[in-house]
Structure 1
Amino acid sequence: MSTSLRATVLTVSRVLAVGALLAAAPASAQEGDADIPLPVPNPERLTLGLTDEDKQDLGADEARALYKQHERQLDRIQGERVNVEETVSATEAERARLNERLLEVARKSADSENRLTALEEEMAKLREEEAAIRKQLRDQHREIGDLLAVMQRMGREPPPVMVTQREDALRMVRSGMLLNSFFPALKSRADSLAARLSELTRVLTEKQQRAEQLAAEKEELERLRTKTRDLIAEKRQRLKQQRARLDALDRAAERHAAAITDLGQLLKTLDKEVAARTGLGEYEEQLQSGEIVELKPRAKKAAFVQPGRMKPAVPFAQAKGLLMLPASGPIVRDFGEQDDLGIESKGVSIETRARAQVVSPADGWVSYAGEFRSYGQLLIINAGGGYHILLAGMEEIYVRRGQFVLSGEPVASMGEASASESRSGREARPSLYVEFRKNEKPIDPKPWWASELAKG
């Protein structure tokens, strides 16, 4: 290549390089932000049209300028990488804080529901005691009335003042004997009446106090429920980045639920899809490879304290004696117990308060959330290792398929009342059905409940 031609090519190449730099930078940067490094989509265009020999002919100033430009781009890329890493760390920390707040509110809501139930039971006892006292007062009122009626008759026919005949003496003796028996009896009845009236006053005062406590506790529970809904809404907002994946799982689950009638077949089908799209697949591989080792009892309890975890704190098989009941209330039908038709229960039924919160008993991935056959609203949580938790009877489910939930995290809420009458004789209450499965077969959940709960 001749010297003149090389010079021409070099000049044109420099113009093209400058043009590439200007085209890659926004207008604002071209006007006055030259020191701010901006990304270049195609860095190779900086030396467009130059051969290796031509590149060597670049002057020191041009080479230095190109070097500085590349250096700024590398600095910017590194800065962006740091920002992304910081954003990821901040997101994980925020998720942990949000989970921690949600678990704390769930615990407070459960305590509030338990206090409300205890207060309502105390109120029921006080009402019964009040009714019994009022009945006793009515009975004593009648007895005193009878005594007073006899004394009034005696007043209308008083004994003679002077004894003139034998009959007069007998009448005086009888009157004295009657008065001698009536007055102590009347005093005893009057004392008893005063005592019962005092007892009634105490009961009414205590009843009023309990009513005030009950109203305050109901207000507190409603506040906690509102806070729970707000936290769940916030968590849903933060899960939007996973929306496409969750939507795909939703559509797949709905298709399968419509076509499948057997629950075991549904579990198999959904588990494959959830494992492919979430961390469940990797967790199952870790379980099978033996990467997850047996933890000591103290370490198991400590593992549940980490709110930012994205896989189970403890393998489900190792969590015996550590899990909480998903709702507050008595177990009204246990595993294996027969119902009115003689059919053995494959799970447990918990009588809850109206609108009670339902929490996940264990860590796991939501395999299914929605209507399914006779179960109504059904929530299936895959805890890994072939274990599933089924929850049914709720009115509203908060979580979505594919979502990872923590032990104690609110996942649903109950309705107002159950169609069946409560065993305790109270007004009908909602009933939550809980079933544990291992390799698709129902198992007794009692060994998994925390010891103080299993006794009930």
Structure 2
Amino acid sequence: MRRSTPRGLDGLATALGLGLVLTLGLASPLLAAPSEREAQARLDALGEELKEVSAQLSTTREARDEASKALREVETALAETHRHLDALQVERRALNDEIADLEARRERLAGERREQLESLEVQLDAFYRLGLTPQLKLLLNQDDPARLDRLQHYLNRLARARHKRLDRIERLESELDDTRQALAERGERLETVTVRLNERSATLAEQSAERTALVAKLDERFASEQARLATLAQDRAHAERTLREVQKRLASMERPPPSTAIDETRGALPWPVQGTIASSFRDGEGVHLNGLVIRAAEGTPVKAVHPGRVVFADWMRGFGNLLIVDHGDRVMTLHAHLQRFSAGVGSAVSRGDALGAVGASGGQGQPGLYFEVRRNGQPIDPRGWIASRP
């Protein structure tokens, strides 16, 4: 079931248009922001240019492959489904926490109400023992005016305390009613979220089965190892053309991205995800040649290694769901085969922020993260930038 329209390379202009304009520093307090009209004009001009580039790239033989198009569609839909599932899970946890808090509040209010009623019962019993007209009895039975004043003062205090307790009980009743109503509303919302969660889970199962069939279909094309390697080489060449265009646009901007001093962190950057290294720089196949493949459980959060801005978040042949962060100083990091995106184009990210989750998009047989570092458009060994493992 395909429930989401993919953007792929056809969405390159939209994704990079917003990302690059934001990366120009329009949102940076260090640079003077142009007028809204000027900013929109620059966005439109850059968007049109990138549309033309994207159209040229999309006419290549690799991009016309129907099986790859189908894989792009289902993996893009899967990413969207995972995103919705995550949001629903977060909402359900929040609702459960709210319900637990409301239940505790209801118990506390009910206990306080019982205490107030018990105290009121004691006061009413004392008044009952004095009879219906205690003031008159005191006046007729007491000879000492001072003692009479003290007893009257006592009676007045009891009366005020009784009224206060009655008011407090009334407020508690109102708070209990509000709490009961809030609990009912949260319960109804929880039921709705649970239904939607089940529906999304069913959709996920259907899309996963469709993806499995598509990956098997893609694998059947290879009559030999040589044919498989040739296809991987085509994927890498296609990706390189697109990445060169990304870097070209970044390098030719009138206002380059602001520096994030990434040079000062060389050799000390954190790992984007913890896992097992499956292939290293210049050892991998296809699009994996220029970086690291880190095996990790599907759904594991992928984190930014350094501050920057997201300039690309889309599906690309060979890479699957690919997210690129520009760190300024002509350095960018690539994160591929993501299950879903946690940050969008134009988002400013800090070190440790979630970018997405480990997946197997791009037709991979097992989950993992492909991580690459590029400087001036050229891939460099990520191990020279990230910290050694403890």
Q: TM-score, length-normalised on structure 1? A: 0.42
The higher-RCO structure (CA 8 Å, 6+ apart) is: 2
* TM-score normalized by the length of structure 2: 0.48
